[in-house]
């Protein structure tokens, strides 16, 4: 598994855990980094910190493109995947959008429901079309 793929998975793990526990993702991140098993890559730290910093805007975008679903109704893991991917799409310039979307869809295939990959793809595609000039 590629380094950034692992980092994205770890970022989703941290965001998901914090969401389930109604906790602070930065506290969960700090605990996972301190534990070091498995190690938390620098890119995962960057993603989690970025999601926390931009969460209001990220959540607003997800809500706007979630086609009838409120953020609270989304499966927890889908919410974590979408938050991580939206941050990476809009604030991380060194990764192509298509790669971010593909990686998010793959995470949804692995971690979530059968309907999640196409849903994640649709939400992210809508955000890219609306937010990123072509």
Query: Per-domain residue ranges for the chain?
Result: 3-131
Q: Residue 49, exposed/middle/buried by CB under 10 A (0-12, 13-18, 19+)? A: middle
Instruction: Report the predicted TM-score, pTM, of the whole model to 2 decimal places.
Output: 0.94
pLDDT at 133: 59
Give the closest residue to 9 by CA, choosing from 55, 51, 41, 54: 41
CATH of 3-131, one of 1.10.940.10, 1.10.1660.10, 3.40.50.620, 3.40.640.10: 1.10.940.10
* pLDDT tens by residue, the chain, 134 residues: 688 999 999 999 999 999 999 999 999 999 999 998 888 999 999 999 999 999 999 999 999 999 878 888 999 999 999 999 999 999 999 999 999 999 999 999 999 999 999 999 999 999 999 876 55
């Amino acid at each position: 598994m590629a380094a950034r793929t692992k980092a994205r998975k770890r970022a989703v793990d941290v965001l998901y855990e914090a969401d389930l526990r109604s906790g602070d993702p930065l506290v969960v991140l700090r605990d996972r980094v301190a534990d070091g098993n498995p190690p938390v890559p620098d890119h995962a730290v960057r993603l989690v910190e970025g999601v926390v910093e931009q969460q209001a805007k990220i959540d607003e975008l997800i809500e706007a493109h979630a086609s009838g679903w409120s953020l609270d109704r989304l499966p927890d893991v889908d919410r974590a995947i979408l938050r991580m991917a939206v941050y990476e799409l809009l604030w991380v310039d060194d990764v192509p959008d298509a790669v971010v979307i593909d990686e998010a869809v793959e995470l949804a295939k692995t971690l979530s429901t059968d309907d999640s990959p196409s849903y994640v793809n649709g939400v992210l595609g809508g955000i890219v079309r609306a937010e990123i000039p072509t």
